[in-house]
């Protein structure tokens, strides 16, 4: 999809160093994006960064991000207009009525509100287990999922400030065993994905990967998942663990 | 072998290779390009030292069609070419190293490195429109084209292709490249352009200026190939906005013996297979026995 402009509606700090930016596209996307697809977000004359689509309804878009560099820092302060390219990546086509368990770590939660919104349209059900380090990073359910509800939303904290004490991966086995899941999706930092793929090897879950992306359209090769001959922007960011085990080991 | 061609001393199973700048900077990229079924892999332009390239945005798909890029010749440096060569050899794919430099000396140093690494041919990037000191700043002057090509030809026996871009002196530059020892010409590179976001009221590429590629430049490429073939009858690798078989056929009829596809690979490698299938059917309809019979047929 070609470049388009968007107006910044607002930026809120939802949790410690976690921001949500709401945008109004000056021209709607040609079709609704698929969950887990991403955009390239341009902060004028600063930088362009890849961002998951956190929510999208009829030209109103939300992105959720942690400030961790010059681009995201500028994004958190951006007002007026920014630019967008995408959506890129293959994304996830939901089957009617399917049951998905999401195990998210940290800001890996970003695309999940849009997954839940899409699932509400296809009659699919999404259970979410979210792990964060400490109480200040927690975002409450209503704030995160605006106007839609997952089947359940459990928050695990490593500082034990919520009912679930530990990492999301620690808590996950019970949930995996309890539910009759059609898919289990892991999303979060690489070490979490590596651990999840290894611990839940018998169910071969899906992982949503992150990488540096520059062109987003398969031309520059920056997002190549070395040593695998795959480009995240062309066939990612979702893979079965078994497809990307070599990449996770090297990353 | 309807589709087989010989160009710049390389015997290729078909005429479609990737354009330089599309992947081509790591062994994994070579894997991907070979899976796209290109007949030769052209590397990203290699400079002596690695280059990071520009800050993002480096590429924009334009609302009017076409793609604008200013990657800034990001590449892993001459030392890395060995790993590209060994992967290409393992996959039995010819490898053409695109090389760049700011002066004759740099071109020579990179050429020596890629020659020793065992590449099958060398494409001189004399036409990148967006990296200061490289490319078109050299290629726009026919004397520089002669000097760089002559110097590189003096240190290698590998076939040399000179990749030139749009300029008023294009025919003269082509003539100079050929007289200096280039076996073939790659025509054309991207065309210098820019894009402004009307709401942010700023240029979007970090480098401000970039190279336009894709369908908007195809008629320009056809014109340049036609004119250069008419004047000089050289071997030409046509490049510029090829996204379907008929675009490739046009360039062949204008005078190209082989084709490079760049921007159209953004939809994946299937486009290569579509182009080949289309060309094969077209040759049959035209009652032509080979691609080579079609080269330059449109010349009047």
Q: How confident is the model at residue B155 (pLDDT cuts 50, 70, 90)?
A: very high
Question: Does any CB of chain B come closer than 8 Å to the CB of residue A1?
Answer: yes
- The answer to whether B54 and B207 are in contact (CB under 8 A) is yes
- Say yes or no: A216 contacts chain B, CB-CB below 8 A: yes
Residue B270, pLDDT > 80, answer yes
A234 contact B CB<8A: yes
Q: What is the C-alpha to C-alpha distance for residues A15 and A9, in angstroms, rounded to an integer? A: 19
Gap between the Cα atoms of B123 and B294, Å rounded: 24
pLDDT reported for residue B128: 73
> What pTM, to 2 d.p., does this model score?
0.95
B82 C-beta neighbours (distance < 10 Å), count? 15
Q: How do residues A122-139 score in pLDDT, each as one tens digit?
A: 999 999 999 999 999 999
> A79 in contact with B at a CB cutoff of 8 Å?
no
Q: Residues of chain A whose pLDDT is less than 70? A: none
Q: Does residue B175 have a pLDDT over 90?
A: yes
The domains of chain A are located at 4-88, 99-208
Give B-chain residues touching A251 at CB under 8 angstroms.
none
> What are the chain B neighbours of A7 within 8 Å (beta carbons)?
199
Asked if residue B136 has pLDDT above 80, the reply is no
Cβ <8 Å between B263 and A226: no
Cα distance between the two ends of chain A: 29
What are the residues facing A102 on neighbouring strands? Answer: A128, A185
Q: What average pLDDT does this structure show over B8-30?
A: 97
Residue of B nearest to A226 (CA): B28
Percent of chain B at pLDDT above 90? 92
> Domain B5-294 is classified in which CATH homologous superfamily?
Aldolase class I (3.20.20.70)
- Residue A87, chain B, CB below 8 Å: the answer is no
Q: What is the mean pLDDT of chain B?
A: 95
Q: Could you please state the CATH topology (level 3) that the domain comprising A4-88 is classified under.
A: Elongation Factor Tu (Ef-tu); domain 3 (2.40.30)
The answer, for A48 touching chain B at a CB cutoff of 8 Å, is: yes
pLDDT confidence of residue B11: 97
pLDDT of residue B1: 61
**Which of B32, B55, B199 is opposite residue A26, by nearest beta carbon?**
B199
How far is residue B54's CA from residue B46's CA, in Å, rounded to a whole number? 15
**Tens of pLDDT along B194-214?**
999 999 999 999 999 999 999
pLDDT at A179: 79
* Cα–Cα distance, B217 to B222 (Å, whole number): 9
Q: What is the pLDDT at residue A12?
A: 96
Q: What is the pLDDT of residue B133?
A: 66
Q: Is B47 left (phi over 0), alpha (psi -120 to 50) or beta?
A: beta
- The pLDDT, as a whole number, for residue A13 is 96
pLDDT per position as a tens digit, B43-72? 999 999 999 999 999 999 998 889 999 999
Q: How far is residue B30's CA from residue B212's CA, in Å, rounded to a whole number?
A: 24
Task: Decide if B239 is catalytic.
Answer: no
Residues pairing with A250 in the sheet: none
Residue in A closest to B55 by C-alpha? A47
CB pairs under 8 A between A and B: 108
| In chain B, % of residues over pLDDT 70 | 98
Judged against a pLDDT cut of 70, whether residue B132 lies above it is answered with: no
Q: Is B65 helix (H, G, I), strand (E, B) or coil?
A: coil
Other CB atoms within 10 Å distance of the CB of residue A74: 17
Q: Does A17 touch chain B (CB under 8 A)?
A: no
Residue B177 has pLDDT above 90, yes or no: yes
Q: Does A217 touch chain B (CB under 8 A)?
A: yes
Say yes or no: domain A99-208 is CATH 3.40.50.80. yes
Return the higher-pLDDT residue of A201 and B138. Answer: A201
The answer to whether the Cβ–Cβ distance between A218 and B57 falls below 8 Å is: no
Pairwise CB contact (< 8 Å): A224 & B28: yes
Chain B residues closer than 8 Å to A227 by CB: 28
For the residues B131-155, what does the mean pLDDT come to? 85
Compare CB distances from B26 to A83, A218, A221 and report the shortest one's residue.
A221
Task: Say yes or no for a CB contact (<8 Å) between B265 and A218.
Answer: yes
Q: Which of B5, B40, B128, B256 is catalytic?
A: B128
Question: Across the interface, do A47 and B69 touch by the CB < 8 Å criterion?
Answer: no
CA nearest to A230 within chain B = B32
Q: For chain B, give every domain's residue range.
A: 5-294
| Cβ–Cβ under 8 Å, residues B132 and B155 | no
Distance from CA of B62 to the nearest CA of A (A): 5
Contacts of A225 in chain B (CB under 8 A): 28
In the predicted model, is pLDDT for residue B135 greater than 90? Answer: no
Distance from C-alpha of B2 to C-alpha of B284, rounded to nearest angstrom: 9
| Nearest chain B residue to A42, by CA | B57
């Amino acid at each position: 999809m070609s470049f388009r402009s968007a107006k910044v509606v607002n930026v809120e700090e939802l949790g410690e160093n976690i921001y949500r930016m709401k945008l109004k596209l000056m021209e709607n996307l040609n079709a609704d994006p698929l969950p887990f697809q991403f955009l390239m977000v341009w902060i004028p004359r600063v930088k362009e960064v890849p961002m998951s689509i956190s929510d999208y309804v009829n030209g109103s878009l939300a992105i959720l991000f942690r400030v961790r560099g010059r681009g995201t820092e500028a994004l958190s302060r951006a007002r007026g207009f920014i630019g967008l390219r995408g959506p890129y990546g293959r994304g996830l086509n939901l089957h009617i009525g399917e049951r998905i368990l999401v195990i998210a770590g940290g800001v890996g939660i970003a695309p999940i509100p849009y997954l839940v919104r899409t699932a509400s349209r296809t009659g699919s059900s999404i259970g979410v287990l979210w792990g964060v380090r400490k109480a200040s990073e927690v975002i409450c359910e209503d704030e995160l999922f605006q106007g839609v509800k997952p089947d359940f939303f459990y928050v695990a904290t490593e500082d034990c400030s919520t009912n679930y004490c530990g990492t999301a991966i620690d808590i996950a086995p019970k949930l995996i065993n309890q539910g009759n899941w059609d898919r289990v999706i892991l999303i979060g930092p690489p070490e979490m994905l590596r651990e999840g793929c290894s611990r839940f090897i018998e169910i071969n879950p899906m992982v949503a990967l992150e990488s540096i992306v520059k062109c987003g359209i398969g031309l520059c090769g920056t997002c190549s998942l070395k040593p695998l001959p795959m480009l995240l922007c062309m066939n990612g960011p979702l893979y079965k663990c078994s497809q990307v085990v070599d990449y996770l080991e090297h990353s | 072998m309807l589709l087989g061609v010989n160009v710049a001393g390389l015997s290729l199973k078909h005429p479609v290779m990737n354009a330089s700048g599309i992947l081509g900077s790591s062994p994994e990229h070579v894997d991907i390009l070979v899976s796209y079924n290109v007949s030769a892999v052209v590397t990203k332009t290699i400079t002596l030292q690695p280059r990071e390239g520009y800050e993002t945005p480096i590429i924009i798909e334009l609302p009017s069609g076409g793609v604008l890029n200013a990657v800034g010749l990001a590449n892993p440096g001459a030392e890395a070419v060995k790993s590209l060569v060994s992967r290409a050899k393992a996959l039995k794919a010819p490898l053409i190293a695109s090389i760049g430099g700011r002066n004759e000396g740099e071109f020579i140093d990179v050429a020596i490195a890629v020659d020793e690494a065992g590449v099958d041919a060398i494409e001189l990037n004399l036409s990148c429109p967006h990296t200061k000191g490289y490319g078109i700043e050299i290629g726009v002057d026919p004397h520089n084209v002669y000097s760089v090509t002559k110097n590189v030809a003096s240190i290698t026996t590998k076939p040399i292709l000179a990749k030139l871009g749009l300029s008023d002196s294009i025919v003269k530059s082509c003539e100079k490249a050929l007289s200096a020892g280039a076996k073939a010409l790659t025509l054309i590179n991207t065309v210098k352009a820019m894009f402004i976001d009307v709401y942010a009221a700023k240029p979007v590429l970090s480098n401000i200026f970039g190279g336009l590629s894709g369908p908007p430049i195809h008629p320009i490429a056809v014109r340049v190939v036609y004119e250069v073939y008419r004047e000089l009858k050289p071997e030409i690798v046509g490049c510029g906005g090829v996204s379907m078989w008929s675009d490739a056929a046009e360039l062949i009829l204008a005078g190209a013996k082989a084709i490079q596809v760049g921007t159209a690979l953004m939809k994946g490698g299937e486009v290569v297979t579509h182009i080949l299938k289309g060309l094969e059917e077209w040759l049959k309809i035209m009652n032509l026995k080979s691609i080579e019979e079609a080269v330059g047929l449109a010349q009047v």
